[in-house]
Amino acid sequence: MQGGLYLDAVLVAGAGKPEVDVVMDDLKAKYLGQIAQAGDEAALEAIRLAAVGKKGEVALQMRELGRMTPEERQAAGPALNALKDEINSALAAKKAALADAALDARLRDEWLDVTLPVRPRREGTIHPISQVTEEVTAIFGELGFAVAEGPRIDTDWYNFDALNIPGHHPARAEMDTFYMHRAEGDNRPPHVLRTHTSPVQIRTMEAQGAPLRIICPGGVYRADYDQTHTPMFHQVEGLAIDKDISMANLKWTLEEFFSAFFEVEGIKTRFRASHFPFTEPSAEVDIQCSWVDGQLRIGEGDGWMEVLGSGMVHPKVLAAGGIDPNEWQGFAFGMGIDRIAMLKYGIPDLRAFFDSDLRWLRHYGFASLDQPTLRGGLSR
Ligand code: DAH
């Protein structure tokens, strides 16, 4: 009897296997093999339709269930579902593997050497005023000056009074100031579009105290318009405060600056006595130049060109900034950025700076990735 039972079991597991099981084994081997071989997503999709699609072979087998005995159906149904699941997860795994391989291939093929030099492009350029501001900042940075900034709309106290320009002073009228409109009953202090960068001296003294070494570049406003004047233009203010600052320090600093800026060794300056309310003594400063065949040459010859105003900071100005004039002293200067840009780069008309003429910008603009530095060259 025992022998008989054993024989039955062998028959069930082997040759006597129900037909549906054999078919399922074949389907499984066939589709898992095809999936393993598939080279792309399109091939995978074709396999999916043929195997587990609505009219695929597994669905066809499902339909056979109806013709089976209940016992057969009970075994074959779950087995077919399991086969379907197995094929679906093999498809998903292969799909993910194909995507990984595609990404790897892209990463291998699409690369960029970020250390290569940039191709010079002339479409977008740096405006000469931005360029010159960067150049000035780089040079004074080397000399130990930090950059300070202030608001373009300021009170008349910062723009005038604190700089020793009281209400009746003619300098207020000379500067052709733009006053901000004030509604009736508005008691706030009058505001102006700053007429110079000098108010940043006061704001920085208040904020940082002494000692101090700063430059303040930025836009300023005056109601004026001709070949050498525009209602908005740019200045850079300089201020150095310490215990023993003198006019000699000022002269040395300016000569260092102009030599570096105009890229000519040993430019001489000439100080002419002048008057500014915020400095005492005051000087207007000229740089050495010559005219050769109608061409201006900076730093040579025996001509002179006025470039800035300067002097020793007036004690009242130090006091307005909260600094004790008995303990501290300093020099200050103010210079037109647009003006020195015109001189350095041979730009004849100031108004062109603000016309946004593309041809002009292409001609006078600077390559956008050249950062001016003293070592790397200021203007290449
Ligand atoms: N603020 C003056 C102007 O706009 C320029 C100036 C002159 C600034 C002398 C200074 C200075 O700091 O000391 O005309």
State which H helix or E strand residue 218 sits in: strand 212-221
pLDDT band at 99 (very low <50, low <70, confident <90, very high): very high
User: Would you say the CB of residue 330 lies under 6 angstroms from ligand 1?
Assistant: no
d(CA 275, CA 279): 8
Question: How many Å lie between the centroid of ligand 1 and the Cα of residue 343?
Answer: 19
Question: How many Å lie between the centroid of ligand 1 and the Cα of residue 168?
Answer: 19
Question: How many Å lie between the centroid of ligand 1 and the Cα of residue 279?
Answer: 8
Nearest CA to ligand 1 atom 8: 334
Segment of 16-20, 24-28, 309-313 carrying the highest mean pLDDT: 309-313
Nearest CA to ligand 1 atom 5: 334
Domain boundary, last residue among 74, 109, 144: 109
Cβ 175 vs Cβ 222: under 8 Å:
yes
The answer to whether position 116 is within a domain reads no
Nearest CA to ligand 1 atom 13: 310
Pocket test for ligand 1, best of 145, 175, 192, 196 (most atoms within 8 A of CB): 196
pLDDT, tens digit (0-9, with 9 covering 90-100), for 179-220: 999 889 998 889 999 999 999 999 999 999 999 999 999 999
Q: Give the number of domains in the chain.
A: 2
The stretch 107-111 carries a mean pLDDT of 90
Asked if the model's pLDDT at residue 5 lies above 70, the reply is: no
Are 140 and 95 members of one domain? Answer: no
pLDDT, tens digit (0-9, with 9 covering 90-100), for 282-305: 999 999 999 888 888 999 999 999
Q: How far apart are the first and last CA of the chain?
A: 105
Residue 31 in tokens: 């589709």
Question: How many Å lie between the centroid of ligand 1 and the Cα of residue 330?
Answer: 14
pLDDT, tens digit (0-9, with 9 covering 90-100), for 53-72: 999 888 888 888 888 888 88
Q: Pick the range with the lowest mean pLDDT from 11-15, 315-319, 375-379.
A: 11-15
Cβ 220 vs Cβ 150: under 8 Å:
no
pTM: predicted TM-score of the whole model, two decimal places: 0.69
Are 104 and 173 members of one domain? Answer: no
Are 260 and 298 members of one domain? Answer: yes
Domain that holds residue 92: 2-109
pLDDT band at 2 (very low <50, low <70, confident <90, very high): very low
Atom index in ligand 1 nearest the CA of residue 220 equals 4
Are 319 and 290 members of one domain? Answer: yes
Atom index in ligand 1 nearest the CA of residue 239 equals 12
Question: How many Å lie between the centroid of ligand 1 and the Cα of residue 317?
Answer: 13
List the CATH number of the domain containing 192.
3.30.930.10
pLDDT for res 13: 45
pLDDT for res 309: 98
d(CA 264, CA 246): 25
Q: How far is CA 40 from CA 37, 52, 363, 376, in A?
A: 9, 18, 53, 53
pLDDT, tens digit (0-9, with 9 covering 90-100), for 152-178: 999 999 999 999 998 888 878 777 899
d(CA 323, CA 317): 9
Place of tokens 């350095």: 344
User: Would you say the CB of residue 276 lies under 6 angstroms from ligand 1?
Assistant: yes
Are 156 and 268 members of one domain? Answer: yes
The answer to whether position 123 is within a domain reads no
User: Would you say the CB of residue 366 lies under 6 angstroms from ligand 1?
Assistant: no
Cβ 47 vs Cβ 35: under 8 Å:
yes
The answer to whether position 324 is within a domain reads yes
Pairing verdict, β 212-221 and 232-242: antiparallel
